Amino acid sequence: MQVLCQNFKAYHCSVSDRLFYLLCGIMILASAGLCLINFLFYQYSIVWLHESMWFIAPLLLGLFMTGCTMESRHPRSGMALTTFSIVGLVALLILVYCAGVATTPYPLIDESLSQADEALNFSVPATIEWVHQRPVLHRLFDLAYESWTPQTILVPFLFAWTLNRAMLMKFMNAIVLTMFIGGMVYYFVPACGPITLFDSPYFPSIAHLIEPIYDAIHQRQEMTHMVTGFVAFPSFHTVNGVLFLILVSRLVKNKIISLGVNPNWRAWLASFAGLRFMLAVVFIVVLNVLLITSTLMLGHHYILDVLAGAILALGCWQYLPVLERKLFGKPARELASALQAER
């Protein structure tokens, strides 16, 4: 227990960690508040986590404590366990938060978003039909769209493997903050996507699962599955895609800085390691540009959904250091200093 406490103070009490705990606490309170409002005034259907899921939280907490105990002697293994538990707990928190957000009493704004598309000469039915007629392109967009989940899971573990605690926590803070703000946006101005307005055989099959969620909840029907993926405005696929691109830009910037003091940087660029690095960067950039584009080309979102998601991701990423300084009185550049110290 003494080792656990010492390691927790040493590795999990930074400014970014404290902000993470605060944001998670706010999301928990917001989830409880939204569910209470629904219980008192609306009694819409709520889908809670399956009973078995609640047993996962104590297990994840146990893994976190185990990893925290290991971190001083086995840094990578310990950080991998703590990262796994943090990602799992955040996933559970998001599911609970979505259950509260889904009880919005406000009408859908899909008509307004569709009118904005028309003003920009963008037609969802025509676009998804055009993509469907090109099977290779359709499959490419589909793979890019589905890469959202594995990328979101993989990125934290890459930071854990490289022992980059500063960037790990900033990424997790960005995920939690964008989810909280995006969820509040949906609660007050809900939108469920183009499939609620258009009848086309070319919509993805997953869209047909999301379409009836809003009506089922507000008609107080019995819900048999967990509510996820129903938020159209803003687009969370775009949020994560932009965050991944920001992370790549930071990685490239750090590599350029390190190469700037290396007299053999030309040789490194021509080496296998340099080629592998450049190919990885190009792959990630192309994948996430396709991910963001696919939200429109497959008919999941309106143009304003994508713009709102991009603004949300960029705004939250830039505001995180300011938020840390305002809440904890630390200089905004502390994160950069911590990053250099890790390296």
- CA separation for the pair 241, 27 (Å, rounded): 22
pLDDT value of residue 222? 72
Print burial letters for 222-259: b (CB count within 10 Å at least 16), e (below 16). Answer: ebeeebebbbbbbbbbbbbbbbbbbbbeebeebbeeee
Residue pointed to by tokens 């350029």: 256
Per-residue pLDDT of the chain (343 residues; tens, 9 = 90+): 777 788 778 777 888 889 999 999 999 999 999 999 989 998 887 766 666 667 888 888 888 888 888 888 888 888 888 888 999 899 889 988 988 898 889 999 999 999 999 999 999 999 999 999 999 999 999 999 999 889 988 888 888 888 788 888 999 999 999 999 999 999 999 998 898 888 888 888 777 666 677 777 877 777 666 656 677 889 999 999 999 999 888 888 877 777 665 666 667 667 777 788 788 889 999 999 999 999 999 998 999 999 999 999 999 999 999 988 888 875 444 444 444 444 4
pLDDT value of residue 238? 94
DSSP 196: G
pTM (predicted TM-score): 0.88
Task: Please compute, for residue 162, the number of CA atoms within 13 A of its CA located in the half-sphere on the CB side.
Answer: 15
pLDDT value of residue 330? 57
pLDDT value of residue 290? 95
The shares of helix, strand and coil residues in the chain, as percent rounded to the nearest 5, are 75, 0, 25
CA distances from 4 to 17, 97, 103, 157, 169 (A): 16, 30, 40, 21, 19
- CA separation for the pair 327, 322 (Å, rounded): 9
221 contact partners, CB below 8 Å, separation of at least 6 = 45
- CA separation for the pair 131, 141 (Å, rounded): 9
Give the count of domains, the chain: 1
DSSP 223: P
Domain extent for 272: 2-342
CB 103 within 8 A of CB 217: yes
Amino acid at 201: P
CA distances from 162 to 155, 166, 170, 266, 343 (A): 11, 11, 15, 24, 9
- Environment class of 121 (CB within 10 Å of its CB; exposed 0-12, middle 13-18, buried 19+): exposed
